[in-house]
Amino acid sequence: MNAQSAIDLTAVITTPENIQFEYRIAGPFRRLPALLLDFAIRVICFLVAFVLLLIVGLSIPFSGSIATMLFLIFWFAIDWFYGLVFESSWNGQTPGKYLTKIRVISIDGRPINGYQATVRNFLRLADFAPMVSLEMFFEDAPAVYMVPTFLVSLICMSITSRFQRLGDIAAGTMVVVNERAWVPNNVKLEDPRIASLSEHIPANFRMSSTLAKVIALYAERRTRIPTARRAELASHLARPLLKQFQFRDDTSPDLLLCALYYREFVTKDAFVDTRVQSLPSPLKREAPVPSSDDSPVQAPISNSLPPILNPSTTESTATANPIPLDRQVL
Amino acid sequence: MRIAELLEKRRQGWVELENMCDALQRSNYPFHKKGNLVSRFSALYRAACTDLSMADQYQLPPTTVEYLHRLVGRAHSQLYRSRQFPFRKWIYYMSVVAPQSIFRDICVKVAFVVFFGLFTLSALLAWSEGNFPGFAERVLGSEQIEQMEQSFDKPLAGNFDRYVTMSGYYIKHNTSIGLQCFALGPLILPSLCALGYNGVVLGASFGYMTRSDVEQGDVFFQFVTAHGVFELTAIALSAAAGLRLGVGLFATGGLKRLESFRLNAERALPIIMTSVMLFFMAAFTEGFLSPSSLPYIVKASFAVFSSGLLMYYFVVLGYPRPEIDEILEESEDNPWRKIGIEYAAR
């Protein structure tokens, strides 16, 4: 949200509600499919119009010339006004952008207006420059410069912080990702030992906010990391904590971090499972505890356990809370 | 309160907001007519905004924060939707803002001087065969001269079918060239070259056809008189718009370079819009009136009429007056308004 997390791919918007939020900016590889889709749609429209007007022109007497004129005007309009019309009426999206889930907005976060849509679409030709002739590829092709190389737009995108092409700079717009947000539920703490281990963490231990963030990031990503790497990564953080909590040295670092996550972010109410048997205490002076994830004495892991923070488990609490949202006090 | 509890409480609102966003994206959903839905939407949006602003304080997990960013972004782009061009605004823009900003634009003056200067010079050189032998042939090429003579060999007599087809062709062809001239403006050279090329070639054709020993001259002027005014002005204007864009890249006037480029694009817009309009009018004239066999006096009076129209548009409507300036200073559409807090803040 501020300078600390200044990653290239986000643009910070301050809304009229005085809230800051981030947009993910679409780069060239996200925008190229949209461009190609739009081109395909335009070609299809062109062909359809051609066939329709051909039929009309041939079947109705004396309408041939008008059909030709309409076709030429349609061709002109679709060449120059396609993006302009769609972006100003579809809230910054053309059909291609809609399909690839990107959207054009002003750099200050407001939707684009007609002027901006006009400028950025009229300048498309400069972005395609320099045009290359087909003659370079085929000997007998006509010497017409018609193949865009996109060099100007690529250079512009690489030197601006918001991946703007020339038309975007001129219009003061940017293209952002407009994906449907995914539900953040990829934390899976299925290991039943986590809950019991968390009970042994000293009650007076208070986590700093940065530590909490690191642990949350670790817990969200650990499923994608191989077991050996998990232990390696987690041990940096876990070793001092093990010492502080006076746990056995061979307690799995991964397990400890998960337990910390569990203690910090998950209430016991949200994770009730009677099948979890309490483990022997991991304290050094007491009985031994399984030392790592893949040890043979591992407790049975039940797949039927509900994933933590799953909406399905929370619906009952949510519906039992009929206070209007804007009145709720956090 | 534990974080999980907090999340559970809020999640229902978030999911509801997300569903409303989905509904809004379907354009046929009659959302804007239902006041209670709109107020519900904005309440949910504000709640999500608050959640996001408190995310740090409540130590929400990073994925949840990311989710909130996207949700708020989505809702934001639905709440503040793009406005369409209302017709009345267009009229205002084209009749008040455009002539005013064209009149005070130095680039338009430069483009006009360059274009019509080269045009006149080239016409004079091509006309005075005695002093500058072979100028027209070198500029135009003897092949093209022959082709031109051929096409104006017979007296003009079109039929309706041909008028309609050709006006469509002129709209597509000429306006595209004008828009290309504008689009290549940021690269400066192509735009200027196109302007100079058009000025020299058109001037040479006019000069050549004025020669007393060229018989096709009469038919040529029968053809070009009517639409020439609109077309030549439109060519000069489209290059002026391109020039305005290019100038913004180096004459920044104290702004950041990119910001100056953006501002000058806004200033170029009325010029190119006027140019497109003129190209359209020229195309219809060229399609219907020019090739007809009407007497020359009709076409000449149309040319006089169109010159008067342009004079009125550019000079009478465009001349700066204090009362118009006052209106324009307030107007958000005016690209020449004083650079105030809005730009200083960026």
What's the rounded mean pLDDT across residues A299-324?
Answer: 38
Q: Does B188 touch chain A (CB under 8 A)?
A: no
Q: What's the average model confidence in pLDDT over A108-127?
A: 86
Q: Select the residue from B24, B52, B71, B77 to test the A interface by mutation, using most A Cβ atoms within 10 A.
A: B77
Q: Could you tell me the two tokens for A310?
A: 């799953």
Does one domain contain both A17 and A160? yes
Instruction: Indicate if A222 and A170 belong to the same structural domain.
Output: no
Identify which of B295, B297, B284, B278 has the alpha carbon closest to the alpha carbon of residue B240.
Answer: B278
* Residue B313 counted as domain residue: yes
Judge if B193 and B270 occupy the same domain: yes
Contact A69 B176 (CB under 8 A): no
Same structural domain for residues A163 and A200? no
Q: Indicate whether B309 pLDDT > 90.
A: yes
Are A141 and A230 in the same domain?
no
Provide the 10 A C-beta neighbour count for residue A47: 10
Quick check: is B106 in a domain? yes
Region A145-150 average pLDDT: 81
Q: A120 and A204: one domain? A: no
Q: How far is the alpha carbon of B185 from chain A, nearest alpha carbon, in Å?
A: 8
Q: Quick check: is A184 in a domain?
A: no
Instruction: Clarify whether residues B169 and B239 are in a common domain.
Output: yes
Indicate the Cα dihedral angle B324, B325, B330, B332, nearest 10°.
90
Looking at residue A240, its pLDDT comes to: 85
Q: Do A113 and B83 touch (CB under 8 A)?
A: yes
Residues 135-174 of A with CB under 8 A from B: 152, 160, 166, 169-172
Residue B346 located in a structural domain: no
Residue B17 confidence (pLDDT):
86
> How far is the C-alpha of A78 from the C-alpha of A101, rounded, in Å?
22
The DSSP secondary structure of A292-316, one letter per residue, reads STT-TTPPPPPTTSPPTT-HHHHHH
Q: Is the same domain home to A133 and A240?
A: no
Sign (positive/negative) of CA torsion B158, B220, A144, A132?
negative
Query: In the predicted model, what is the mean pLDDT of residues B7-12?
Result: 77
B72 and B134 together in one domain: no
Q: State the average pLDDT over residues B79-94.
A: 75
- Residues of B with Cβ-Cβ distance to A77 under 8 angstroms: none
Which DSSP letter does residue B312 get? Answer: I
Instruction: Answer yes or no: do A286 and A238 share one domain.
Output: yes
> Any idea which residue has 């200067």 for tokens?
B117
User: Across all residues in chain B, what is the average pLDDT?
Assistant: 83
Q: Quickly state the pLDDT bin for A73 (edges 50, 70, 90).
A: confident
Same domain, B182 and B278: yes
Q: In terms of residue numbers, what domain contains B9?
A: 3-79
Q: Which residue of A has its CA nearest to B280?
A: A73
Considering A7-11, B90-94, B197-201, B222-226, the range whose residues carry the highest mean pLDDT is: B197-201
If asked whether residues B67 and B147 sit together in one domain, one would say no
Q: What is the pLDDT of residue B26?
A: 67
Last residue of a domain, one of A152, A177, A202: A177
pTM score over 0.80? no
Give the torsion through C-alpha atoms of B263, B279, A121, A117, to 10 deg. Answer: 60
Nearest to B262 by CA among A22, A164, A109: A164
The residue type at B8: E
pLDDT at residue A8, as a whole number: 61
Domain that includes residue A301, residue range: 193-317
- Torsion, Cα A66 A68 A72 A75, to 10 degrees, reads 110
- Rounded to an integer, what is the distance from CA B131 to the centroid of its chain? 41
pLDDT of residue B271: 92
E strand or H helix that includes residue A62? none
Q: Specify the number of domains making up chain B.
A: 2
The whole-number average pLDDT for the span A224-228 is: 83
- Host H or E run for residue B254: none
Instruction: Tell me what the mean pLDDT of segment A66-70 comes to.
Output: 84
CA distance A27 to chain B (A): 17
Instruction: Give the C-alpha distances (Å, rounded to integers) separating B56 from A110, A216, A328, B18, B118.
Output: 25, 13, 18, 22, 66
Return phi, psi of residue A173, to 5°.
-125, 170
Residue A121 phi, psi dihedral angles, 5° rounding: -85, -30
Does residue A325 belong to any structural domain of this protein? no
| B124 shares a domain with B57 | no
If you measure CA to CA, which chain B residue comes closest to A68? Answer: B165
pLDDT in tens, B166-215: 788 888 888 888 888 888 888 888 888 889 998 999 999 889 888 888 88
What is the distance in angstroms between the Cα of B164 and the nearest Cα belonging to chain A? Answer: 6
Q: What ipTM score was computed for the predicted complex, to two decimals?
A: 0.80
Q: Do A18 and A117 fall into the same domain? A: yes
- Domain boundary pick from B79, B112, B145: B79
Instruction: Say if residue B207 is in the same domain as residue B118.
Output: yes
The predicted pLDDT at position B218 comes to 83
Q: Among all residues of chain B, which has the CA nearest to that of A216?
A: B61
* Domain termination residue (choose one: A121, A151, A177): A177
Find, among A146, A178, A161, the residue nearest to A34 by Cα. A178
Structure tokens at A300: 């049975």
Q: Which residues of B touch A22 (CB under 8 A)?
A: 69, 73
Residue A265 or residue A29, greater confidence:
A29
pLDDT bracket for residue B241 (50, 70, 90): very high
| pLDDT over 70, % of chain B | 90
Cβ within 8 Å, pair A111-B12: no
Q: Which residue has the tokens 């039992």?
A: A320
Domain contains B345: no
Greatest mean pLDDT range, A29-38, B1-10, B55-64: A29-38
Say if residue A165 is in the same domain as residue A291.
no
Q: Which residues are paired to A131 by β-bridges? A: A148
Q: Which residue has the higher pLDDT, B30 or A96?
A: A96
CB A137 within 8 A of CB A149: no
Which tokens sit at B42? 């904005």
Last residue of a domain, one of B79, B102, B125: B79
CA dihedral sign of residues A108, A113, A118, A124: positive
Asked whether the beta carbons of B29 and B23 are under 8 A apart, the reply is yes
**Residue B341 in domain:** no
Would you call A324 an interface residue with chain B, using a CB distance cutoff of 8 Å? yes
Q: Pick from B54, B79, B104: which residue ends a domain?
A: B79
Taking contacts as CB-CB distances below 8 angstroms, the residues of chain B near A79 are 176
Distance CA B102, CA B312 (A): 13
Chain A residues 29-88 within an 8 A CB cutoff of chain B: 62, 64-66, 68-73, 75-76, 79-80, 87-88
Q: What is the model's pLDDT at position A290?
A: 44
B292/B159 Cα distance (integer angstroms): 8
| Separation CA A258–CA B176 (nearest Å) | 63
Question: What is chain A's mean pLDDT, rounded?
Answer: 74
B270 lies in the same domain as B173:
yes
Are residue B20 and residue B123 in the same domain, yes or no?
A: no
Examine the domain organization and report whether B150 and B66 are in the same domain.
no
B72 and B198 housed in the same domain? no
Nearest-by-Cβ selection for A111 from B13, B77, B167? B77
Does residue A130 have a cis bond before it (omega within 30 degrees)? yes
CB pairs under 8 A between A and B: 222
Q: Is residue B342 part of a domain?
A: no
Asked if pLDDT for residue A37 goes beyond 90, the answer is yes
C-alpha of A243 from chain center = 39
- Give a yes or no: residue B227 inside a domain: yes
Question: Is residue A182 one of the residues assigned to a domain?
Answer: no
- Number of separate domains in chain A: 2
Residue A2: per-residue pLDDT: 44
| Three-state DSSP class for residue A13 | strand
Total residue count of chain B as it appears in this document:
346
Q: What is the largest CA-CA distance in chain A?
A: 102
Three-class DSSP category at A120: helix
Q: Do both B69 and B206 map to the same domain?
A: no
End residue of a domain, out of A132, A148, A177: A177
- Compute the CA torsion angle B63, B65, B71, B76 (nearest 10 deg): -150
CB of A105 within 8 Å of a chain B CB? The answer is: yes
pLDDT for position A44: 95
Of the candidates A126, A172, A325, which has its C-beta nearest B43's C-beta?
A: A325
Question: For residue B238, what is the nearest residue in chain A, using CA coordinates?
Answer: A122
DSSP B197-251: HHHHHHHHHHHHHHSTT-TTHHHHHHHHHHHHHHHHHHHHHHHHHHHHHHHHHH-
Structure tokens at A131: 């045009």
What are A104's two structure tokens?
């054009």
Tell me the residue ranges of DSSP E strands in A123-208.
Answer: 131-133, 145-148, 173-177
Question: Is position B86 within any domain?
Answer: no
A124 and A236 belong to one structural domain: no
Contacting residues of B for A102, CB less than 8 Å apart: none
- pLDDT per residue over A172-204, tens digit each? 899 988 776 555 555 667 777 887 887 788 877
Across the interface, do B73 and A176 touch by the CB < 8 Å criterion? yes
Residue B63 has pLDDT above 80, yes or no: no
pLDDT at residue number B301: 93
Same domain, A24 and A109: yes
Residue B179 one-letter amino acid = L
A 289-308 near B (Cβ less than 8 A): 308
Of the two residues B134 and A51, the one the predictor is more confident about is A51
Q: pLDDT at residue B279 above 50?
A: yes
Which residues of chain B does A169 touch, with a Cβ-Cβ cutoff of 8 Å?
258, 261-262
**Shared domain check, A245 and A132:** no
